Amino acid sequence: MSDPSTAPEPTLLVERDGPVLVLTMNRPHRRNALVPDMLVRFADAWAMADEDDDIRCVILTGAGTEAYCAGGDLSDGWMSGEVTEEAKRIQERLKADPGITGRGLLLTDWCRKPIIAAVNGQCLGGGCEMLQQTDIRIAEEHATFGVPEVKRGLIAGAGSTMRLKRQIPYAVAMDMLLTGRTLTAEEALQWGLVSHVVPSGASMAKARELAEVICANGPLAVAAAKASVVETGWLPEAEAQPIEISHVVPVMRSEDAKEGMRAFAEKRTPEFKGR
């Protein structure tokens, strides 16, 4: 029998901290580069966040101090066609559910809970593509951002050609996609790719601070706000408005809404029940 104490750590650490789910990409020796095992674990983690009403917010970060996620691990074999031991362990899962990697990358689905990214280093390739599906993004001052796939004869095809031009100015997005340009943390803040820049080592503290604020808000309101934003996307207002209304009406009729207004009138902290 193998010794459990010598087993390698999971490629994705999944930890509960009260109502916050903390996901840590855990391959610091490979700059937290993505491999199939990690994507399968991601798919399971997103599903858990969606299904557990007690989870109110997700924090996503990388292990170590050098990289948040350097993209797909090109030398691991999962993109070059080489069969590795890691690939063998998850082969049956991938065969049974080919769409699981797309869900893990947040390419074909989205997480219903708010996601705060704590970017603690290089955020490149697939890591930057997944970043585009997070909601609040904190960059440490040494972090860098890019989709340099074209430099390897590849394309940033996990969402960036669809999303990046919608989230930052078109010309900046095209510069990144066509030349492989990398942004500094300050440039990423300037162009709106991230929400905050903090000193090195401070991203998790800021992420927990923001998660605490989110978790104190009405859970129905938070969930509906994110759902409405995602589902309306960049639709014309005439098409988007019915979708928004479908989320607004249940929230306004909820017990939480009544409690929030009562608490405001009574100058006290509301006690939301999620109903």
**Looking at the chain, which runs of residues are DSSP E strands?**
12-17, 20-25, 57-62, 67-69, 115-119, 122-124, 136-140, 144-146, 182-184, 196-198
Distance between CA atoms of 189 and 184, rounded to whole angstroms? 9
Distance between CA atoms of 63 and 29, rounded to whole angstroms? 9
Specify the pairing of strand 115-119 against strand 136-140: parallel
Distance between CA atoms of 109 and 102, rounded to whole angstroms? 8
Catalytic residue, candidates 149, 187, 231, 271: 149
* Contact between residue 220 and residue 254 where contact means Cβ atoms under 8 Å apart: yes
Identify the DSSP state of 70.
-
Q: Per the structure block, which two tokens stand in for 46? A: 């997103």
Catalytic residue, candidates 15, 82, 92, 129: 129
The owner of tokens 């590795």 is 84
* Contact between residue 28 and residue 62 where contact means Cβ atoms under 8 Å apart: yes
**Per-position b or e across 42-73, b if 16+ CB within 10 A of its CB:** bbbbbeebbeeeebbbbbbbbbbeebbbbbbb
Cα Rg of the chain, angstroms: 20
187 included as an active-site residue: no
237 included as an active-site residue: no
* Contact between residue 20 and residue 216 where contact means Cβ atoms under 8 Å apart: no
Distance between CA atoms of 100 and 97, rounded to whole angstroms? 6
Question: Annotated active-site positions, please?
Answer: 129, 149
